[in-house]
Structure formats: C-alpha cells, structure tokens
Structure 1
Amino acid sequence: MNKKTLFKYIAVFVFGAALMCTATLAKKYRKAIEWDGTAYNLENVNPVDAKLAQPYNKSLDKTGDAFVGLMGLICCGVIAFAFFTSEDKKKAFNNAVIDVYTFMICGFYANGIYRILKTIVGRIRPYMYFANPSAEGIAEGDFFRSWPSGHTSNVFLVLGFLVAWFTFRDAESKLKKPVLTVSLLVCLTTMVLRLLSGNHFLTDVLSGAVIGFGISYGMACLCNKINDYSGEK
C-alpha cells in the first residue's frame, strides 16, 4: 500500500469517526421530550404503521440485541475463515487487516448517519402508544428515537459489507450463497423482532434497512476502489 492510498484510507476513516462524534454530541445535547405519563394517541400515526404497532415486549427486545451480535459474529467468522484457510498467510493477513478496517469504516458511516437522523427526527416509539411502555426507554430518554431503526441498520450494514466482500474479495467462494442466505434471514428476523417488541414501526425498520445496507455497501465499494488504485487487491 503506497502513501497516497494510505492517506485516502485515513481521510475516510477520520471523517467517519467525526461523523460518529457528531452523532454522539447531538444526542447528548438534544433537548429531551417530557412525557406526562399518558399514552400517546395511535390515531396520529399513519394507517400502515398504526396497524402494525405493538406494545412493549422485553423478551423480544433482548432477542433483537442477540441477533445484532449474531450478525457481527458471522462477519468476523467470514474474515477469519478466509485468513486461516489461505496458503499465503502474509497476503491473507494484509487482506484481513484491510477487511477489518473497511468494516469499521462501514460501521462509522452507517451508525453515524442513522444516529444523527434519530436525534433530528425524534419519532415516538410504538410502545408509547400502549400501556406499560419500556421503563428503561423512558428513563434513558430513548422513547423518542424510533426512526430509523438502529438494530435494523446495524444488521443490514453487516449484510452490505458481506455482499461487497463476496463481490470483490472472494466471488467464487463456496460460502457465498449459504452465508448471504443465513445473513439475510437474520436481518429479516431482526426486522420482525423490532416490530413485535414494540420498539419500531414498519417504516422505521424499512428505512433502517435501506440506510444500513446502502451506506455500508457504498463505503465498502469506495474502500475497494481506493485499494484498487494502489495496485493491490
């Protein structure tokens, strides 16, 4: 990797890190919405979202957390498998470092953007329209951060990275079809869990999927393009 390529990687990384910092500060200094203890009126929500809205379910909420972690493990497993099965360990190590770096960049940009949107929009979560909402969500001021879905964005950002990885890094891999199939199922299950747990409306999870996948795939393509310019792949 030459100096010009390294500089481009660093520039993309720094901008992504700055985006994450901006998202964190925006959330910290945003004026909190006060809740008077009365459930919100579901009639104020569009018909499609209102019809699928659900009360809070803590078990499904935590299960959704686990599925996000599962997607992370799948991604790590793919990169690790490529390294340990490669005969040229030096090249495999360099590829693994670039892959991890690229994944971090995808995470920075997708997370930074969806978190900023959450803060700006301030949409009330579905469980606030029913009795017994999430006490934790209310205490932490998270009940007005419904759009877009962060969990959905995160699982789809992993999917976006994996699609790019199998396109540019190992297009002929026998793992491509089963890994992407399982990953898509995990993503879709996560979307359903976020709906059924009362954390999100349908438009929240659909938007989260587009944001997570689109940004992640786009950034992975950009990193691959930068790497191509250096004469390495």
Structure 2
Amino acid sequence: MTVLRKTADGLERWAPVMHQYYFTDWVFVFLLLGGFMVLTDMTPFQSMFTLDDPSLQHPYATTERVSSKDGVMLSTIIGIGIIVLFVPLLHRKRNWRHVMNVSLLSLALSLILTEFATELLKNFIGRPRPDFIARCLPAPGTPLHELVGIEVCTNPSAKVISDGFRSTPSGHTSNAFAGLGWLSAWIAGQLRVFRHGTELFRTMLALLPFLGALLIALSRIEDYRHHITDIIFGGLLGALIAWYSYRKFFPHLGNATCHIPFPPPDFKEKAVVESDDYESLDEMESGTQKAYSD
C-alpha cells in the first residue's frame, strides 16, 4: 500500500506538468505510429484484374524520382528543422518552448495520423497500380479478357506483387500534403500573411512547401506508381488531416494572433470542472434513487 500511495502521490505531483506539455496527446501519437507499423506489414486485399486493362499496362520503374525515404525526409525533416531553428527567434519574447512543443506535436499528429489512415485504406481497397502487369509477369497463355488473380503471376518477388495492390490512396502524396501542406499553414500563421498590408513575399514563402508537395504528387504519376484518382484522394486526405492538426493547436489564419498557439488548458480549472461534474452526477444519482424509493 505504501508503494501504491507513493506512486499515486508522484502521479498527482506530475499531472499538471504532463497536462501542460500535452503528454497524453504525445502518447496517442506514438500509439498511432505503432498501429501504422502494424498496417505496413499486412497483406493488402488482392483484387482481380484483366491483362487487357490499359490502365495497368504501364512500365515498372525500378528507380523512382522521389523514393519513399526521400518523401519522408522532405515531409518530415524540413518541417522539424524550420520549427527548431525559427521558433526561438520568432517567439524569443514569450514562452517559445511551449510554441515549439505544440508545433512539433501538431506536425507529428498530421504526419502519423495521415500515414495510419493511408495504410488502412490501402490495405482494404487493394487497387492495382498502373504498373501492375509489369510487376506480375503473367504466365504465357493467361486469358486476356477474363478476370484473373495473382495465381497467374510469375514474378518470384512476392513483395513486389503485394506492393502492386497498394495504389489507393497515394502514400507519397498524402504524406507530402500532411507534412509540407501543414508547414505551409504554419508558415502562413507565423508570418501572418492575411494581415492587412503584409508583403507578398511572405505569402510566396508560405506557398513554397505546398508547391513541393504538389511536385511530389506529380512525380508519382510520372513514375506510373499511381492513377490520377489516387493522387487526388491522397492529396485531399493529407490536406484535410493537416488542416485539422494545425487548427487543433493554432487559431485560424485570419486571427490577429494566428502565430501564437492556444495556451495549454489550466489544469486546476479543468480539475474543478470535472469534480463539479462528478458532484452533479452524484446528486442526480442520489435524487434518482430517492425517487425510486419513494
């Protein structure tokens, strides 16, 4: 009991600090990361296909214009670097550590929630990529006009064939807009581009990451890795999650203080509200029990 009591006292002492630094939100983000890693090892739904489908007859590019590693670096490292470098300068007269923590959390939420949603959709949709026939290497004599499955594929690499069913939505695109799209919103907020009289170059700076995300998306079409609908789907998915993740912690871009994140909720006030709620609930339950007894 003494050990449990000490543990409870320690948690009670640290609870306000954990609340201030959004500890539970960070835990949720890392849980999402674990879920994403599980989903990447799952075998996607393997839909049937026909060999005469022209949308699946594009060549298989062994060298991609933007590899998966490059995509992650561009979407993640650039945003982290800009936050770490510029937050202490832009917010040196206020609590810049809070701004940095919230900015990194918002970016992490955007990226990992998007990755989780993208992999989940890829596995359940199972749409073949435009280069699937080249991946499959169908056996001679396979009917051209009939629906067939992967049993006709002769490619010895099961990984290449399995990845061929991960076309929708585009992961490169959703990740690019989740990271670089979020960064555009963040820069627009920090530079207050919608403030009256703001210089045009600030707006152009804010648009640069968004343009980078668009170029990454277009490279996936040029490599024949995705259909155009996959790109649109992935772009919308990443952009919507990026906007949600940004607005969860920052005011809208038209606000005069859009460069300052919301302050952490007052832990003591929250505790009072919760205790009041519980007291009201107890009163309601006691009143209900009395009514039944009467």
TM-score, normalised by the number of residues in structure 1: 0.74
Q: What amino acid does structure 2 have at the position aligned with 1:146?
A: S
Q: What amino acid does structure 2 have at the position aligned with 1:230?
A: P
Q: What amino acid does structure 1 have at the position aligned with 2:264?
A: S
What is the CA–CA distance in structure 1 between the aligned matches of 2:167 and 2:100, rounded to whole Å?
35
Contact 1:68 1:190 in 2 (8 A): no
Deviation at 1:25, TM superposition (A): 2.9
Aligned pair 1:28/2:41, yes or no? yes
Give the helix-richer structure, 1 or 2.
Answer: 1
Q: What amino acid does structure 1 have at the position aligned with 2:175?
A: N
- Structure 2 residue aligned with 1:150: 171
Q: Which range moved further: 9-18 or 114-123?
A: 9-18
Contact 1:55 1:198 in 2 (8 A): yes
What is the CA–CA distance in structure 2 between the aligned matches of 1:23 and 1:142, rounded to whole Å?
16
What is the CA–CA distance in structure 2 between the aligned matches of 1:97 and 1:16, rounded to whole Å?
13
What is the CA–CA distance in structure 2 between the aligned matches of 1:19 and 1:59, rounded to whole Å?
30
SS at match of 1:224: coil
- Structure 1 residue aligned with 2:51: 41
What is the CA–CA distance in structure 2 between the aligned matches of 1:65 and 1:176, rounded to whole Å?
30
What is the CA–CA distance in structure 1 between the aligned matches of 2:91 and 2:31, rounded to whole Å?
38
Note the aligned Cα RMSD (angstroms): 3.8
Give the gaps of 5 or more residues in structure 1.
Answer: none
Kindly provide the CA deviation profile for residues 113-135 of structure 1, in whole angstroms up to 9, marking residues without a partner as x.
Answer: 11111111111111113478798
What is the CA–CA distance in structure 2 between the aligned matches of 1:21 and 1:67, rounded to whole Å?
20
Deviation at 1:29, TM superposition (A): 4.4
What is the CA–CA distance in structure 1 between the aligned matches of 2:158 and 2:93, rounded to whole Å?
47
SS at match of 2:248: helix
Match of 2:262 among 223, 228, 232: 228
Q: Which range moved further: 187-196 or 75-84?
A: 75-84
Question: How has the CA–CA distance of structure 1 residues 183 and 63 changed in structure 2, closer, same or farther, with 3 Å as cutoff?
Answer: same
Contact 2:188 2:202 in 1 (8 A): no
Q: Which range moved further: 146-155 or 68-77?
A: 68-77
Contact 1:64 1:190 in 2 (8 A): no
Contact 1:191 1:205 in 2 (8 A): yes
What is the CA–CA distance in structure 2 between the aligned matches of 1:131 and 1:120, rounded to whole Å?
20
Question: How has the CA–CA distance of structure 1 residues 13 and 135 changed in structure 2, closer, same or farther, with 3 Å as cutoff?
Answer: farther
Give the gaps of 5 or more residues in structure 2.
Answer: 1-14, 138-154, 252-260, 267-294
- Structure 1 residue aligned with 2:287: none
Q: Which range moved further: 144-153 or 90-99?
A: 90-99
- Structure 2 residue aligned with 1:104: 108
- Structure 1 residue aligned with 2:120: 116
Q: Which range moved further: 134-143 or 164-173?
A: 134-143
Kindly provide the CA deviation profile for residues 153-187 of structure 1, in whole angstroms up to 9, marking residues without a partner as x.
Answer: 11101133223313444425977433333222222
Contact 1:149 1:204 in 2 (8 A): yes
Question: How has the CA–CA distance of structure 1 residues 138 and 213 changed in structure 2, closer, same or farther, with 3 Å as cutoff?
Answer: same
TM-score, normalised by the number of residues in structure 2: 0.61
Matches within 5 A, 1:48-127: 50=55, 54-62=58-66, 65-83=69-87, 85-86=89-90, 88=92, 91-127=95-131
Deviation at 1:195, TM superposition (A): 0.9
Aligned pair 1:201/2:214, yes or no? no
Kindly provide the CA deviation profile for residues 59-104 of structure 1, in whole angstroms up to 9, marking residues without a partner as x.
Answer: 3344575355234343134213323534727733332222112211
What is the CA–CA distance in structure 2 between the aligned matches of 1:165 and 1:215, rounded to whole Å?
14
What is the CA–CA distance in structure 1 between the aligned matches of 2:211 and 2:84, rounded to whole Å?
22
Contact 1:164 1:221 in 2 (8 A): no
